[in-house]
Chain A
Amino acid sequence: MLSALLAIPFLGALGLMLWPGELSLEKVRRAALALLLLQLAWSLRLLLLFDPSCGGMQLQESIPWIESLGLEYRLGVDGLSLPLVLVNAGLTLVSAYASTTVTQRPRLYFALLLVISGAVNGAFLSLNLLLFFLFYELELIPLWLLISVWGGARRAYAATKFLIFTAVSGGLILAAFLGLALVTGEADFSLTPVLSGQLGMGTQLVLLGALLVGFGIKIPLVPFHTWLPDAHTEASTPVSVLLAGVLLKLGTYGLLRFCLGLFPEAWAVAAPWLAIWAAVSVLYGSLAAIAQRDMKRMVAYSSVGHMGYVLLAAAAATPVSLLGAEFQMVSHGLISALLFLLVGEVYATTGTRDLDVLRGLLNPERGLPLTGSLMIVGVMASAGLPGMAGFISEFLVFRGSLAAFPVATLASMVGSGLTAVYFLLLVNRVFFGRLAVTPPEPGGPLDIRLPAVPLVRHLPAMVLTLLVVAIGLAPSGLGYLSEQATTAMSQFPALLAAISGKPA
């Protein structure tokens, strides 16, 4: 059942590469879309088979692989990973749908997209640390290629930066996993929490620190974030959608599953510092976003800010805050994908993303009214306006974290206010005012007429908008899906304390 979610994209990618004869872009794209639709349908089927009232891993599959190394092919799904698997399926489909302008090597491009999607599925589903690491690394190379081959002007710099950062991240994670096996002497790499009876707190904290930095790079958290704005600016729109919507979630997923899941006791010790780190990350990202002049960089920095909420929620580790973290991961995935799609639309039509130049794109006949309207919804959702997914996520995060870390939570809420500042500036500059797409100059064109964007190109953005609003108005579904899993996670420290027989 779960293996199909790996088989569809991987075999599909292989098939695309090996298919004999010439394939036009449109044919390859259709084939990829069909495969991704199948993957989405399969993920939805998973949703039907999944029993949300049970907190543990479900639909487990296990095949021994290299037992001497402790590597086991072991998959399972719970309320934490299932929504992310769905987001992955949906956003890869969106990303492939939006890839209409790939002129070079379309086969390789779509094959790489499929490999990324499969690797991400694998990472979300694997129950073995080494297996997770394999998939985590597997997603890295295709993305590096996607940026360095199909990217913008400074793509070499951005791609190298991305590669170095993420390789360090992978190295740290592997080191932590191996170190854990070494010091506990149990080389089965399973997802069993470490008890303080087994391992001194100092060693636990060192291993947790390595994991935290490793995932902190991926999320990304300040000060490990600088690869993200560059990668986003140089990546093409579909790749940005995938990067922001899906790949960053690997970091936060790792934070919850491995940092909190493997070292609950050390986590509780480190939590106050993590909350401060989260608040710094939120404020730093938001303030840096205000100063950006490139729309894509602004959205990228907003990701830095918004992923900080997940760390805050994880630090608090209450049932409500962890549910909020899950909500935030899903809603940030949808909202940032929506924003990148729309920014990409603006860039494709006007040829610029410069906030100092673009004006008045809401113009009804000659501008981009639909893009603008969707953009307003998107930025409002990102700023946490009620009725949309961002609000309920932030509310849950803040509500769950306030009692534990009041100062850090209030500081993060200020960050949420700052989101409104920069995104309002974006909408006000780019979409309000008199239509202009070039710096004003004497003798320049007075009347601009932008080519109308066909409705089909807006289809993914509209679907995402509807989803964002739907989650915002009726969050119970997602809540029901994840509540058992997140509640179970929040009880780890207490349970462990009970087992080891001393107060937490």
Chain B
Amino acid sequence: MVAELPLPNLPLSMQLVWLIPLYGFSGVLLSLPWSTGWIKRNGPRPAAYLNLLVTLVAFLHGSLVLRQVWLVGPQHLAIPWFHAADLNLSIGFDLSLTNLAALELVTGLSLLGQVFALGYLDKEWSLARFYALVGFFEGAMSGVVLSSSLFMSYFLLEMLTLSTYLLVGFWYAQPLVVTAARDAFLTKRVGDVLLLMGVVALSAWSGQTEFTELYAWAASAPLTPLAGTLLGLGLIAGPMGKCAQFPMHLWLDEAMEGPNPASILRNSVVVTCGAIVLLKLMPLLLISPVATDVLLAVGAISAVGGALVAIAQVDLKRAFSYSTTSYLGLVFIAIALQQPGIALLLLFAHGLAKALLFMSVGSIIATTNCQDLTELGGLGRRMPATTGAFLMAAAGVTGLLPLGCFWCFGLLVQAFSAEHRSFAVVVLLTNLLTLFNLTRVYRQVFLGDAQPKTRRAPEVSWLMALPMVSLTVLVGLMPWIMARIDPVPGIASFSPGVAALVMGSGLIGVVSAAVVPLNKAWSRSLFKPLRTLQDLLAFDFYTDRIYRATIVAFVAALSRLTNGFDAAVVNVLVDRVGSLSMAAAGTLRLSVSGRMQTYVLTALVAIVLLLASLNWFIA
């Protein structure tokens, strides 16, 4: 399985597939002269162009490989990286249709997002730094989706954590950004450390890090139930953090403080990467039924909870970031219930549509400089392309019209209808709540009278409009694309009853949101119970406060305790002993006579005593 590179009979594009992640990483180096300020003439735009170019090359290279895989079938490439004793680490690429489709999604959306960013960050002084970070981001993601080894997936997921931290912290001078970046890093890091424990344990017990070999090892599973459970929980923690699942969902919402083009990628492809790693881990999780149950519980809570919290948000970006948590919850359920095909389709449909949704949100923010829902209104006629994009994204991401997610939901409900009724209900409920959320946002932003901030709202420049409109078309074509790449037997293989259920749930969502009163002046209800509920959801079930009161307080107290112990006990003891010895030396100093004879005598006595004791010791 491992090594034998280069495979002489493979086409060049496949042999050179290891270049694809490097394209993204090379963007970092290419941007350096501008991001460090060595080149100051003519602004930082050339860095952006170079990054766009390498991303385009990555996309084209990816499509070449995709075509080859279509022709010659899946391939596996491995390059030895580090070897010591019984440890073999290699850089492995799994060239399957799924992985390459995911790669094309990543590089394609990265390309569109970068063009969009050119417009959105038009006046940004540190544009080059942004592109360097996006290049890093894209390189890590391309590697994750192609990776065939757990070690390499972990390696790149951590790089993703780092680049998320830096991208969220892009505008590092703002206080909210600082806390957002911190939370993003630490939340993901908790998941990553748990995942690392899993990776290390798997590597130590099985001696392998390649997924295929791990599957074979897991099938024989020479593990105690406890070890298996802990291992399973460790392994799912990483993807949970990456996919912003409950209880590690906090960061995605706060990460909305970062620049919007990065949010586009984060809400579509970054979470997809996390889910793809989980998909690759799935056969290993069979050793641990508890881990599967936890996945289901986490997925269900995230799906419904995320959709509910989204409804109570007044911030335009946050209203949709919670919905990402919610959709990834559905993906988790699908993976836990052994529906990898549907999970992939859902990831694909959601990724494209959510990216489009965030592009339209970005357009609104760029035009109005406002992301408070209560201050927006009447944009429908003023920004037609943005409105179209929003509507298309909304249709694509939900199950009402027969676009992408409709078919996914149909398949999910059909698959769950036999044994897992309750999860079918979760899917329908999520659909209902998401449509409710989208409809209320649509009413607040695009309908109604123009507000002071939206009175003059021209459509965005072509740099933003072009990627947005292209993506609108793509989302519109989703059913057709899905039918072509379809990994399951027919995307329409569900009963009309199921279709009616999905559409019905969507319709209820739309209609109820259309009739519910939305008062801009009173965004918090005057009716006390309702207000309490609203606050509970608006503040995300007070998760951050709970964290602060529990885990953060715990670690802080422990560190204060350690430090106090260090200063009051260890150090004081040491000082005591130290001052004792200094005092003793001080006393001894007084007994020194200064006579040569005494010194010689003392030395002689000491030597005699020493030798005598030596003799006694050896004897």
Contacting pair B193 A476 (CB below 8 A): no
Q: Which residues of B contact A226 (CB under 8 A)?
A: 566, 570-571, 574
Q: Which residues of B contact A420 (CB under 8 A)?
A: 185-186, 189, 193
Complexed CA–CA distance, A364 and B37 (Å): 9
- Digit string of B415-443 for contact with A (CB within 8 Å is 1, else 0)? 00000000000000000000000000000
Contacting pair A318 B178 (CB below 8 A): no
Known: A290-B556, A387-B155. 15 other contacts (CB 8 A): A185-B618, A226-B566, A284-B566, A288-B559, A290-B563, A360-B172, A362-B172, A364-B125, A391-B155, A395-B196, A410-B197, A417-B190, A418-B555, A424-B185, A476-B81
Contacting pair A223 B570 (CB below 8 A): yes
* Residue B87 CB within 8 A of the other chain: yes
Given contacts A291-B563, A413-B196, A417-B189, contact A434 B173 (CB under 8 A): yes
Interface residues of A in 14-64 (CB under 8 A from B): none
Q: Which residues of B contact A223 (CB under 8 A)?
A: 570
Given contacts A182-B614, A292-B563, contact A320 B84 (CB under 8 A): yes
Interface-forming stretch among B200-208, B343-351, B494-502, B594-602?
B200-208
Contacting pair B193 A182 (CB below 8 A): no
Given contacts A319-B86, A364-B126, A417-B189, contact A399 B204 (CB under 8 A): yes
Interface residues of B in 166-190 (CB under 8 A from A): 166, 169, 172-173, 175, 177-178, 181-182, 185-186, 189-190
* Residue A385 CB within 8 A of the other chain: yes
A-B contact pairs, 6 of them (CB 8 A): A183-B617, A320-B84, A385-B158, A402-B200, A420-B193, A431-B172
Tell me, rounded to whole Å, the shortest Cβ–Cβ distance linking B573 to chain A. 8
Cross-chain pair count, CB within 8 angstroms? 143
- Digit string of B21-47 for contact with A (CB within 8 Å is 1, else 0)? 000000000000000110000000000
Tell me, rounded to whole Å, the shortest Cβ–Cβ distance linking B269 to chain A. 20
- Digit string of B59-87 for contact with A (CB within 8 Å is 1, else 0)? 00000000000000000000001111111
Given contacts A413-B196, A417-B193, A424-B185, contact A483 B578 (CB under 8 A): no
State which size class the interface on A falls in.
35 or more
* Residue A433 CB within 8 A of the other chain: yes
* Residue A160 CB within 8 A of the other chain: yes
* Residue A145 CB within 8 A of the other chain: no
Q: Which residues of A contact B156 (CB under 8 A)?
A: 386
Tell me, rounded to whole Å, the shortest Cβ–Cβ distance linking A281 to chain B. 12
Q: Which residues of B contact A402 (CB under 8 A)?
A: 200-201, 204
**Of B83, B169, B204, which is in contact with the most chain A CB atoms at under 10 Å from its CB?**
B204
Q: Which residues of B contact A403 (CB under 8 A)?
A: 204-205
Which positions in B face A, CB cutoff 8 Å?
A: 36-37, 81-87, 125-126, 154-156, 158-159, 161-162, 166, 169, 172-173, 175, 177-178, 181-182, 185-186, 189-190, 193, 196-197, 200-201, 203-205, 555-556, 558-563, 566, 570-571, 574, 578, 581-582, 614, 617-618
- Digit string of A394-423 for contact with B (CB within 8 Å is 1, else 0)? 011011101100100110011011101100
Contacting pair A416 B87 (CB below 8 A): no
Q: Which residues of A contact B186 (CB under 8 A)?
A: 420-421, 424
Contacting pair A475 B159 (CB below 8 A): no
Which positions in A face B, CB cutoff 8 Å?
A: 160-161, 164-165, 182-183, 185, 222-223, 225-227, 284, 287-292, 318-320, 323, 360, 362-364, 370, 376, 380, 383, 385-387, 391-392, 395-396, 398-400, 402-403, 406, 409-410, 413-414, 416-418, 420-421, 424-425, 428, 431-435, 475-476, 479, 483, 487
Which 4 pairs, one residue from A and one from B, show the smallest C-beta to C-beta distance? A291-B563, A319-B85, A290-B559, A417-B193
Given contacts A417-B190, A428-B178, A433-B173, contact A291 B574 (CB under 8 A): no
**Of A360, A370, A432, which is in contact with the most chain B CB atoms at under 10 Å from its CB?**
A432
- The residue in chain B whose Cβ has the minimal distance to the Cβ of A373 is B36
Q: Which residues of A contact B83 (CB under 8 A)?
A: 476, 479
Given contacts A385-B158, A483-B85, contact A287 B570 (CB under 8 A): no
- The residue in chain A whose Cβ has the minimal distance to the Cβ of B205 is A403
Contacting pair B555 A288 (CB below 8 A): no
Contacting pair B190 A396 (CB below 8 A): no
Tell me, rounded to whole Å, the shortest Cβ–Cβ distance linking B341 to chain A. 31
Contacting pair A291 B81 (CB below 8 A): no
- The residue in chain B whose Cβ has the minimal distance to the Cβ of A435 is B173
Q: Which residues of A contact B201 (CB under 8 A)?
A: 402, 406
- The residue in chain A whose Cβ has the minimal distance to the Cβ of B151 is A395
Tell me, rounded to whole Å, the shortest Cβ–Cβ distance linking B30 to chain A. 17
Tell me, rounded to whole Å, the shortest Cβ–Cβ distance linking B94 to chain A. 19
Complexed CA–CA distance, A223 and B567 (Å): 12
Given contacts A387-B155, A413-B197, A413-B200, contact A396 B87 (CB under 8 A): yes
Complexed CA–CA distance, A360 and B169 (Å): 12
Tell me, rounded to whole Å, the shortest Cβ–Cβ distance linking A379 to chain B. 11
Tell me, rounded to whole Å, the shortest Cβ–Cβ distance linking B37 to chain A. 7
Complexed CA–CA distance, A385 and B157 (Å): 10
Complexed CA–CA distance, A395 and B84 (Å): 12
Contacting pair A475 B559 (CB below 8 A): no
Contacting pair B162 A385 (CB below 8 A): yes
Complexed CA–CA distance, A498 and B126 (Å): 65
Contact of A396 (CB < 8 Å), options: B84, B566, B570, B581: B84
Complexed CA–CA distance, A216 and B300 (Å): 50
Contacting pair B566 A288 (CB below 8 A): yes
- The residue in chain A whose Cβ has the minimal distance to the Cβ of B617 is A182
Q: Which residues of B contact A476 (CB under 8 A)?
A: 81-83
